[in-house]
Homo-oligomer: A and B are copies of this chain.
Amino acid sequence: MNSTNEPPKSPQKATIADVAKAAGVSKTTISRYLSGDYKSISASTLKRIEEAIAELRYRPNRMARGLRQARSYSIGMIFADISNPYSTSVLRGAEDVCTRHGYSIIVCNTDNDPVKEKNYIHMMQAHRIDGLIIHPTGHNKDILNEMADERIPVVLIDREIPGLAFDTVGTDNYRAMSEATRFFLDQGYERIGFFSQPIEHVSSRAERFLAFTDVLRNAGHPSVNDLYEFEIRKNAQLEEQLERFIEATSGQSRMLFAVNGITQLKLINALQTRGLRIPEDIGIAGFDDSDWAPVIGSGITTVAQPTYEIGQRAMEKVLQRLGGDDSAKERIALPGQLIIRGSTPSQK
């Protein structure tokens, strides 16, 4: 019995030396076992090693291994908005790929704040992450370039940063938006309002709007200038813009296009508040499919992004670069899918 009042000693994590001693071999042999070099170990030794590891519940220390090998087996993922379902789906895709290869993921959420983003990149550097997948705010070109200089694979998702040579994975926004816009024209809408958070230099938004105007201009459609921008956090701005569109299009058959999922929701909310019915009074559609899109009203027409696959492809690209591939940077644009539902009926 323990006469002192000390708490029971917490069992210290076993080290490779403990395992070596228990198995009656040297650390080298254990290390060989850990790196899968079974063929240079005798059967009986193998057995003793396995028993020792199980007995001691040995888990190789990744920090020690990482320090020695100068690689952490961790991939950083920095999201502009982790609460967006887009992000979690990408995360799942990426995780499923990298887990199979023994990598772990360190995640961060910047809330679209360039300062947070900068700090997180620094944190990632301190972790000596082997690769980075980032949904960038677009304001930290310098550090991103710095990482690239250090030969750390960086893959951008959703957004590209002009002038930066990184691998990029996202939806083929131009193509998907063109298809969608042509569909809206076929449905016979006289006016289509493009509602977006400030396009500025966010490439995905810009591509969508460009496709929109290109198709409209080609068709000689009057909505070429129907762009309505607002800050997502400022409901007043959105309502003001909506008001502007509604007034300008009074008496015409019309619809709203939302640049992303969150904008869809905000617009639907605003329409309901104003007592406008979907689709009788006004049509609506938007980028990003979701669980709720099918069940709102008679369903919302959306452009689905292949989010899970975007995550997979981004991680595969990181691993490919890690594997030594030094070919030209690639821009991977995956097809989006127009999902037609009840919110955009024919106006003819």
Interface residues in chain A, defined as those with a beta carbon under 8 Å from any beta carbon in chain B:
10-11, 13, 57, 59-64, 66-67, 72, 74, 82-83, 85, 87-89, 91-92, 95, 99, 104-109, 119, 122-123, 125-128, 146, 149-151, 262, 265, 268-269, 272, 290-292, 294-296
Asked whether, in the complex, the Cβ of B104 is within 8 Å of the Cβ of A151, the reply is no
Asked whether, in the complex, the Cβ of A67 is within 8 Å of the Cβ of B57, the reply is no
Asked whether, in the complex, the Cβ of B151 is within 8 Å of the Cβ of A10, the reply is yes
**Chain B residues closer than 8 Å to A92, beta-carbon distance:** 82-83, 109
**Chain B residues closer than 8 Å to A262, beta-carbon distance:** 291
Q: Once the chains are docked, how many angstroms separate the CA of A128 from the CA of B149?
A: 30
Q: List 7 A-B contacts (CB under 8 A).
A: A10-B149, A10-B150, A11-B149, A63-B63, A104-B127, A262-B291, A272-B295
Q: How far is the CB of A20 from chain B (nearest CB, A)?
A: 18
Number of copies: 2
- Contact partner of A128 among B61, B91, B268, B291, CB < 8 A? B61
**Chain B residues closer than 8 Å to A99, beta-carbon distance:** 119
Centre residue among A89, A92, A126 by max chain B CB count within 10 A:
A126
Q: Once the chains are docked, how many angstroms separate the CA of A85 from the CA of B105?
A: 19
Asked whether, in the complex, the Cβ of A59 is within 8 Å of the Cβ of B122, the reply is yes
Q: Once the chains are docked, how many angstroms separate the CA of A13 from the CA of B83?
A: 33
Which residue on B lies nearest to A292, using beta carbons?
B292
Asked whether, in the complex, the Cβ of A64 is within 8 Å of the Cβ of B62, the reply is no
- Contact partner of A268 among B67, B146, B295, CB < 8 A? B295
Q: Once the chains are docked, how many angstroms separate the CA of A91 from the CA of B79?
A: 12
Q: Once the chains are docked, how many angstroms separate the CA of A162 from the CA of B212?
A: 56
Asked whether, in the complex, the Cβ of B292 is within 8 Å of the Cβ of A126, the reply is no
Q: How far is the CB of A228 from chain B (nearest CB, A)?
A: 20
Q: How far is the CB of A111 from chain B (nearest CB, A)?
A: 9
**Chain B residues closer than 8 Å to A60, beta-carbon distance:** 126
Q: Once the chains are docked, how many angstroms separate the CA of A105 from the CA of B125?
A: 14
**Chain B residues closer than 8 Å to A107, beta-carbon distance:** 91, 95, 105-107
Asked whether, in the complex, the Cβ of A128 is within 8 Å of the Cβ of B13, the reply is yes
